[in-house]
A = this chain, B = another copy of it.
Amino acid sequence: MLKIPEHQVAGHQAQGGKLGPLVDDSGLFYKPLQGGDRGSHEVAFYTSFYSNPKIPPHIRRFFPKFHGAQVLEASDGSGLLSHLVLEDLTLTKSNPSIMDIKIGSRTWPPHESSEYIEKCLKKDRETSSISLGFRLSGLQMYVPKETGFWKPERKSVQSLSASEVGLVLRKFVSSNTSSDCSFAQAVYGGPYGILSQLLELKAWFEDQTVYHFYSCSILMMYEKELASQENSSHGATIKMIDFAHVADAGGVIDHNFLGGLCSLIKFVSDIIATPNDPTNVVERIF
């Protein structure tokens, strides 16, 4: 029985009879293959990634499990369409807080057409990609005692300034819509926290010369209700998603992704270091 995913925060969504991903009860996530060669390119990436012996096993856990491709009725009723079959990342989570962060100041692969590059560059400049090295693509935060989820409009989170992004990352681990950072240590910190996972990914990116991940996102997820209970696992996890624009690395590290990842790491480290200091004073030099 296919249905619309409850917790999607970015990308095309199937609501309102549109084309978007579907999920089933067994924990699978069906993503319609994107137009042009993007869809087949994403299938090729997953196939390559899971068969490449150069990918260390501990890195695979940062990627959705892959179950091939399958033809099924599209969510917009337009007929049969090929779908990527992936792991449903939010299956076991009841009220996940989720942030989708598109990494890299440049979202276009070098060999794209000038028209495509111009379109991407315009968006990279209008959003925070160029300035921060990443942009928020979407987010939802569970607010227990209030309205359930806070899910700001996607357009509004893409162009935040450094101090605004800092504030959103603080709110993300706060007990309410203020920024008390109650869960900063539990979610971002510690040996299994998000910072530790980001640093593990960073160490791989400093070395890997297999793929360049353009326009790819990191999902950060956890369950706020469980974070507030002692001795329970809130499941703070990062996952890489969206591989329609992955390119061959050509013997070079992915300096574009790595730079953006280091920028995100700096924001998260600062919050762990000073959870009670949301001022984020930005000093101007010139």
Chain A interfacial positions (CB closer than 8 Å to B): 41, 44, 48, 52, 105-106, 110, 121, 125, 130-133, 161-163, 166, 206-207, 209-211, 247-253, 255-256, 258-260, 262-263, 265-266, 280, 282-286
Q: Are B210 and A285 in contact (CB under 8 A)?
A: yes
Given A206-B265, A255-B263, 18 further pairs, Cβ under 8 A:
A48-B286, A105-B256, A110-B125, A121-B121, A132-B255, A133-B252, A133-B253, A133-B256, A161-B250, A166-B251, A206-B262, A211-B285, A248-B285, A248-B286, A252-B263, A252-B266, A259-B259, A259-B262
Q: Is the CB of A251 within 8 A of B162?
A: yes
A286 and B209 CA atoms in complex are apart in Å by 13
Knowing A44-B286, A248-B284 are in contact, say whether A256-B253 is a contact too (CB < 8 A): no
Copies of this protein chain in the complex? 2
Q: Which of A206, A263, A284 has the most CB of B within 10 A?
A: A263
Please, could you name 9 A-B residue pairs with CB atoms under 8 Å apart, sorted by A? A105-B106, A105-B256, A110-B125, A132-B255, A209-B266, A249-B285, A253-B263, A258-B258, A259-B260
Ranked 3 nearest A-B pairs via Cβ: A259-B259, A255-B259, A133-B255
In the assembled complex, which residues on chain B have CB atoms less than 8 Å from the CB atom of A41? 286
Q: CA of A161 to CA of B251 in the docked complex: distance in angstroms?
A: 9
Q: How far is the CA of A162 from the CA of B251 in the complex (A)?
A: 6
